[in-house]
Structure 1
Amino acid sequence: MKTLNKDIMTFDEFKDNEFGLPGTPVRESYERESEDFILGVILKEARLSKGMTQEQLAKKCGTTKGYISKVENNLKDVRLSTLQNIVENGLNGHLQLSVQL
């Protein structure tokens, strides 16, 4: 019978070890930054799936290529109204949000 490698851990265990337990300041900061990163990736993937360049997307939603790049690369916080504009006017999509308590 194979023995399991005891050094292997789940991603949740890794996060607990590296950033502390949920609710701690370091962990909360990590979670916020992760969500910002994920948002940028989602926008980039949506843009690419539409076959658009950053410049084309920026033109459609009335912003600049540089701004789109900064949002996609998590270098710029994006306002909700601006995000909605990018998704709806630039990508012809629908922005859907949820709140978890």
Structure 2
Amino acid sequence: MKSNLKTLDQLIEETYGKLGSPSRNKFEWGAQLFKISAMIKVARLNLMLTQKEFAIKCGTSKYAISIAENNLIEIRISTLQKIVELGLGGRLVINIKL
């Protein structure tokens, strides 16, 4: 009996195309932004801070934190750096793969 089950990678490729295609690149970019947003929100909640309290700790606005957590627009690297370094006590590291 043949299975109709597909892997997640197969479904993504069928829906958005192969790696490197414009539609797949757009999907991958959105997926990365979503992951960053989710990590920021989980980290803030783990600190048991409101968005306003977290914004003060980060040296930014509640609006910027809301935007970052809800992936409404692309976050500026400088804002992300404030969130990671001032708000979370971490270090922002960016890698470029060619």
Fold shared by both chains (TM-score > 0.5): yes
Tell me the percent identity: 40
Matched, 1:64 2:61: yes
1:42-81 to structure 2, matched below 5 A, reads 42-81=39-78
How far apart, in 2, do the equivalents of 1:75 and 1:24 lie? 24
Question: Is 2:16–2:23's contact at 8 Å kept on the other side of the alignment?
Answer: yes
CA deviations over 1:22-72 (Å, ceiling 9, x no partner): 111111110011111111001111111111111111111222212211111
Which consecutive residues of structure 1, in runs of 5 or more, have no partner in the other structure?
none
Q: How many residues align?
A: 98
Matched, 1:91 2:53: no
Which consecutive residues of structure 2, in runs of 5 or more, have no partner in the other structure?
none
1:9-20 to structure 2, matched below 5 A, reads 9-20=6-17
Select which of 10, 17, 22 maps to 2:19: 22
Question: Is 2:60–2:79's contact at 8 Å kept on the other side of the alignment?
Answer: no
User: What is the TM-score when the length of structure 2 is the normalising length?
Assistant: 0.89
Select which of 34, 37, 60 maps to 1:37: 34
Q: Give the superposed CA RMSD.
A: 1.4
Question: Is 1:57–1:91's contact at 8 Å kept on the other side of the alignment?
Answer: no
Structure 1 match to 2:79: 82
User: What is the TM-score when the length of structure 1 is the normalising length?
Assistant: 0.87
Larger Rg over CA atoms: 1
How far apart, in 2, do the equivalents of 1:20 and 1:92 lie? 38
